Structure 1
Amino acid sequence: MDDARAPTAAERVRTLVESSVSAVLDIPSARPPEPAALGHGSPEARAVTEDGDVVLLVPASSPAAQLAGRASGDEVTAVMEITDVAPVAVPHRVRGRAWVAGWLTPVAPGERGALARLITARHPAGPPAADVAWLLLRLEVGEAYVDDLWGAEAVEPDDFAAAAPDPLAPHEADLLQHLAASHDDQMRTLCGLLGETGPACAAAGAQAVPLSVDRYGMRVRFCGLEGHQPGACFDARFEFPDPVNDVAQLRQAMRLLFEAAAG
């Protein structure tokens, strides 16, 4: 997707990889004959290097760490699956999934300090358990794929490496929760921008829930509208006049959006 009014597939994958949403690491060679979880693990934190490799912080006792440490130069194939769930209460909360496949190796001793600082910059709180031994692994990206609210699309490694995460991503959960909890009336006024559908939002029980926000705009899920089937919902996208780069610019864009809806 090359539309300048929307994030590209590479940007969407990069945003999810560098976020703190749930991720599972699958190592096919570690799958047991029974459907247990021995071949899977959840990285505690992750970040992306300038070259587009994904750095993973995992327990030293995890299958991923053990296999990568024993590989002795052999490639360990791994797939990281990231599940993006809306941080607000809304029907059908899973907003999308991304998969990043590649080759897993331990981080070389000479790189550990710099990459540990990179992980800390992305996740300042650090590992929650001080009594656990941690290991840094590198996932060299071979291919990536995203299936989300924008659609399904493959991403080439070079495009992933060149992409930048959305600048609002670290703040998105707090922003959406604040809008849902404190600005319900203003959210409902956005119905006025939907043409003939607008008056239906005045129905008792109608909801306008902020589903996602990025530098280009906000997506809202409308449910319970008059004239629609019970339980039926639909999404509407509201674009900002100009892309925003930080929370201050977002507040200004939201103010203009609500003013347009009220006027």
Structure 2
Amino acid sequence: MTAASPASTDLLTAAVTARTVAAGSGVAVLAVAGWRSHGVLHGCDEQGRVVLLLPPDAVLPDLPPVGPHPGTCVLEVERSAALPDATVPLASVQVWLELEEVPPSERPAALELLAACHSLSEALRSWRGRRLLRGTVEHAHCHRAPRCEEVDAEEFAAAVPDPVAPWEADALERLRVDLREELLDGLRRASPAARSRMVLDGPAWRGTSDLADVLPVAVDERGATVLGVLSDGDRLHLRLPFPSAPHDADDVVDLTATALHEAVAATA
């Protein structure tokens, strides 16, 4: 595993990240004994079980006990930030599952759960007849800069998804509109020690002239992650930790500005 940088201590725990991503964030692929299905809708119920809706053309192999061993059933979810000229990976989660069909009596509730996770309530009627599965988590693997971590079944089930996730997109838009220039100016003035504390991953950040642009790419209850673009085109992830958890997009702007000002003040 990659050694953690100082900024990594401000990240959500691996269990919370895995539970948040599995609960609907990101692009998912279901792999069962070599068979793969793209475009899988996914969510988590209150018991921490993963609910999956397969695409209309998916022909899944038989499930246990007559099909592949449960250890071969893996939900792979990639969470990325879509930028105008690139896609920036943020987290990758693999969840090993023991799969079963959702009983007919529980299908309406499971579909409602997925609709809520993906803001697709109007699409419920088009989901009739599609295969709906439920998976008990055996363990998960969570990778995000700067580390890879394992999450066991108990940790996954007990984790509470990040409360910022449902309105993260709104918070990011506010940051990009209200604070982008201030972020660039402030980060350029940060001291070498402050820069070292903020860097999650990426090449060495040599000085103020290196930083050509910044763009907020992720927000959670512990902080904001910012993509820094260097003058030679290289990119790095920076982390601005929050002193308290935000309750809305206004809080995110204020807390990010506070974290930035504290980093700049450390230049003395």
Normalising by the smaller structure, the TM-score range is 0.7 to 0.9
Shift of 1:215: 0.8
> Which one of the candidate residues 82, 106, 113 is aligned to 1:111?
106
Shift of 1:220: 1.8
Distance 1:5 1:206, change over 3 A: closer
Partner of 1:9: 14
Partner of 2:74: 79
Shift of 1:46: 1.6
Partner of 2:139: 143
What's the secondary structure of 2:54's corresponding residue? strand
2:115 matches 1:120: yes
Distance 1:157 1:5, change over 3 A: same
Partners in 2 of 1:137 and 1:193 — Cα distance? 52
Shift of 1:261: 6.6
* Alignment size in residue pairs: 246
Shift of 1:94: 1.4
Q: Which moved more, 1:7-16 or 1:178-187?
A: 178-187
Shift of 1:92: 7.0
1:171-186 → structure 2 map (5 Å cutoff): 171-180=167-176, 183-186=179-182
Distance 1:74 1:244, change over 3 A: same
Amino acid at match of 1:209: L
Q: Is the 8 A contact 1:88 1:177 kept in 2?
A: no
Partners in 1 of 2:264 and 2:190 — Cα distance? 12
Partner of 2:151: 155
Shift of 1:124: 2.9
Partners in 1 of 2:21 and 2:91 — Cα distance? 10
> Which one of the candidate residues 243, 249, 255 is aligned to 2:245?
243
Amino acid at match of 1:111: E
2:50 matches 1:48: no
Partners in 2 of 1:193 and 1:200 — Cα distance? 9
2:219 matches 1:213: yes
Shift of 1:128: 8.3
Instruction: Please give the root-mean-square deviation of Cα atoms over the aligned residues, in Å.
Output: 3.3
Shift of 1:45: 2.1
Q: Is the 8 A contact 2:96 2:140 kept in 1?
A: yes
Q: Is the 8 A contact 2:29 2:40 kept in 1?
A: no
Runs (5+) with no aligned partner, structure 1: 32-38
Q: Is the 8 A contact 1:223 1:233 kept in 2?
A: yes
Distance 1:200 1:74, change over 3 A: closer
Partners in 2 of 1:147 and 1:251 — Cα distance? 27
Partners in 2 of 1:73 and 1:185 — Cα distance? 56
Q: Is the 8 A contact 2:216 2:224 kept in 1?
A: yes
Distance 1:171 1:158, change over 3 A: same
Amino acid at match of 2:258: L
Shift of 1:81: 0.6
Distance 1:221 1:123, change over 3 A: closer
What's the secondary structure of 1:249's corresponding residue? helix
Q: Is the 8 A contact 1:87 1:176 kept in 2?
A: no
Shift of 1:61: 4.6
Please report the TM-score for the alignment, with normalisation by the length of structure 2: 0.77
Amino acid at match of 1:145: H
Amino acid at match of 1:242: S
Runs (5+) with no aligned partner, structure 2: 196-204
Q: Percent identity?
A: 26
Partners in 2 of 1:109 and 1:129 — Cα distance? 15
